Structure 1
Amino acid sequence: MMLCWILISLFVGFLKAQEVIYAQVGGIVTLPRDKVEKDVSVYVNWFRGSDTSPTIMRNPQSGIQKGKDTKTYASLLDDYSLQISPVQDSDFEIWRCVQHVLALSSEKTYKLYHVTIPKVPAVMVGAFLSLECKVESSSVVPKVTWIPPENLKTCNEIYETKPVVKYTNEKVTVSSVSRCHSGVWTCKLEYGNKRETKATTTVSVIDLSPFPDTIYTSSLFSSSTVSIPCSLSSMIPWSVLNETGLVSGSWSFTPLSDPKSRKTLLSLSVGPVVRWDIVKGTDGIPSVEGRELKNQDLSIHNLPVSEKVRGVYTCSLTFKSKTLTRNVKVEVLKVFSPGGSRFFEGQSVNLTCTLGHQNTSDFKVKWNCSSCSSFYNHLHPFTLSIPEVKLKHSGKYTCELWKNEKKLTFAVLSLKIEKAPVDIWLLVAIIGGVVGFILLLVVIIICIRRHRQMMMYRRRKTKFCCCKNPQQNQKGFYKT
Structure 2
Amino acid sequence: MLCWILISLFVGFLNAQENPMVIYAQIGGTVTLPRVKVEENENNVYVNWYRGSENTPTIMKNPQSGIQRAKDVKTHANLLPDFSLQISPVQHSDYEIWRCEQHVLRTTSEKTYKLYNVTIPKVPAVMAGDSLSLECKADSSPVKPTVTWIPPQNSDCDPRQYNTKTLPSFPISYASVKCHSGVWTCKLEYDGRETEAKTTVFIIELSPFPDTIFTSSSSSTVDIPCSLSSNIPWSVLKEFGLRGGNWSFTPLSYPNSTQSLLELSMDPVVSWSIPQGADNKVKAEKRELKDQDLSIRNLPVSENVRGVYTCDLIFNTKKLSRKVTVEVLKISSSGGSRVYDGQSVNLTCTLGHQHSSDLEVKWSCSSCSFISSLKPPHPSSLSIPEVKLKDSGKLTCELWKNGKKLTSAVLSLRIVKAPVDIWLCVAISGGVVGFILLLVIVIICIRRHRQMMMYRRRKTKFCCCNNPQQNQKGFYKTSSRQL
Q: TM-score range by the shorter chain?
A: 0.7 to 0.9
Alpha-carbon contact 1:397-1:413 (below 8 Å) kept: yes
Deviates more, 1:394-403 or 1:232-241: 232-241
Aligned residue number for residue 348 of structure 2? 352
Aligned residue number for residue 410 of structure 2? 412
Relative distance call for 1:385 and 1:154 in structure 2 (3 A) is: farther
Alpha-carbon contact 1:227-1:301 (below 8 Å) kept: yes
Alpha-carbon contact 2:363-2:378 (below 8 Å) kept: no
Aligned residue number for residue 98 of structure 2? 95
What whole-Å deviation, never above 9, does each CA across 1:135-154 have from its counterpart, x for those lacking one?
11111111101112233325
Alpha-carbon contact 1:401-1:408 (below 8 Å) kept: yes
The alpha-carbon deviation at position 47 of structure 1 amounts to 1.9
Q: Which one-letter code corresponds to 2:63 in the other structure?
A: P
Deviates more, 1:408-417 or 1:140-149: 408-417
**Out of 111, 114, 123, which is 2:114 matched to?**
111
Alpha-carbon contact 1:165-1:173 (below 8 Å) kept: no
Q: Which one-letter code corresponds to 1:260 in the other structure?
A: N
C-alpha separation in 2, matches of 1:377 and 1:258: 36
Aligned residue number for residue 28 of structure 1? 30
**Out of 412, 418, 421, which is 2:419 matched to?**
421
Q: Equivalent residue of 1:90, what SS?
A: helix
Aligned residue number for residue 187 of structure 2? 188
Return 5+ residue gaps in structure 1 as ranges: 1-10, 157-163
Q: Normalising by the residue count of structure 1, what TM-score does the alignment of the two structures yield?
A: 0.84
C-alpha separation in 1, matches of 2:382 and 2:245: 45
Alpha-carbon contact 2:367-2:393 (below 8 Å) kept: no
Q: Which has the larger radius of gyration?
A: 2
Alpha-carbon contact 2:148-2:164 (below 8 Å) kept: no
Q: Does 1:80 align with 2:83?
A: yes
Q: Which one-letter code corresponds to 1:174 in the other structure?
A: I
The alpha-carbon deviation at position 454 of structure 1 amounts to 1.4
Aligned residue number for residue 327 of structure 2? 331
Q: Which one-letter code corresponds to 1:459 in the other structure?
A: R
Alpha-carbon contact 2:367-2:390 (below 8 Å) kept: no
Relative distance call for 1:35 and 1:389 in structure 2 (3 A) is: farther
C-alpha separation in 1, matches of 2:110 and 2:18: 14
Q: Does 1:291 align with 2:278?
A: no
Relative distance call for 1:350 and 1:26 in structure 2 (3 A) is: same
Aligned residue number for residue 222 of structure 2? 226
Relative distance call for 1:16 and 1:208 in structure 2 (3 A) is: farther
Aligned residue number for residue 61 of structure 2? 58
Deviates more, 1:371-380 or 1:348-357: 371-380
Q: Which one-letter code corresponds to 1:73 in the other structure?
A: H
Return 5+ residue gaps in structure 2 as ranges: 1-12, 471-477
Q: Equivalent residue of 2:429, what SS?
A: helix
Deviates more, 1:167-176 or 1:334-343: 167-176
Q: 1:114-263 alignment to 2 at 5 Å?
A: 114-153=117-156, 169-180=167-178, 181-193=180-192, 195-220=193-218, 224-263=220-259
Q: Which one-letter code corresponds to 2:29 in the other structure?
A: G
What whole-Å deviation, never above 9, does each CA across 1:89-115 have from its counterpart, x for those lacking one?
111111222233333333222211110
C-alpha separation in 2, matches of 1:350 and 1:165: 67
Q: Which one-letter code corresponds to 1:426 in the other structure?
A: L
What whole-Å deviation, never above 9, does each CA across 1:179-224 have from its counterpart, x for those lacking one?
332221111111112x111101112223323233222222336xx2
Q: Equivalent residue of 1:356, what SS?
A: coil
The alpha-carbon deviation at position 322 of structure 1 amounts to 0.8
Superposed CA RMSD in Å reads 3.3
Aligned residue number for residue 302 of structure 1? 298
C-alpha separation in 1, matches of 2:210 and 2:158: 16
Q: Could you tell me the percent identity over the aligned residues?
A: 67
Q: Normalising by the residue count of structure 2, what TM-score does the alignment of the two structures yield?
A: 0.84
Q: Does 1:68 align with 2:71?
A: yes
Alpha-carbon contact 2:125-2:203 (below 8 Å) kept: yes
Q: Equivalent residue of 1:451, what SS?
A: helix
What whole-Å deviation, never above 9, does each CA across 1:270-289 have from its counterpart, x for those lacking one?
33243333333446x85444
Q: How many residues are aligned here?
A: 455
The alpha-carbon deviation at position 386 of structure 1 amounts to 5.0
What whole-Å deviation, never above 9, does each CA across 1:220-261 have from its counterpart, x for those lacking one?
36xx22222222334444454444333442211111223222
What whole-Å deviation, never above 9, does each CA across 1:387-430 have from its counterpart, x for those lacking one?
54333332322333333333322222112221222232233233
Relative distance call for 1:167 and 1:387 in structure 2 (3 A) is: farther
Q: Equivalent residue of 1:449, what SS?
A: helix
Relative distance call for 1:239 and 1:27 in structure 2 (3 A) is: closer
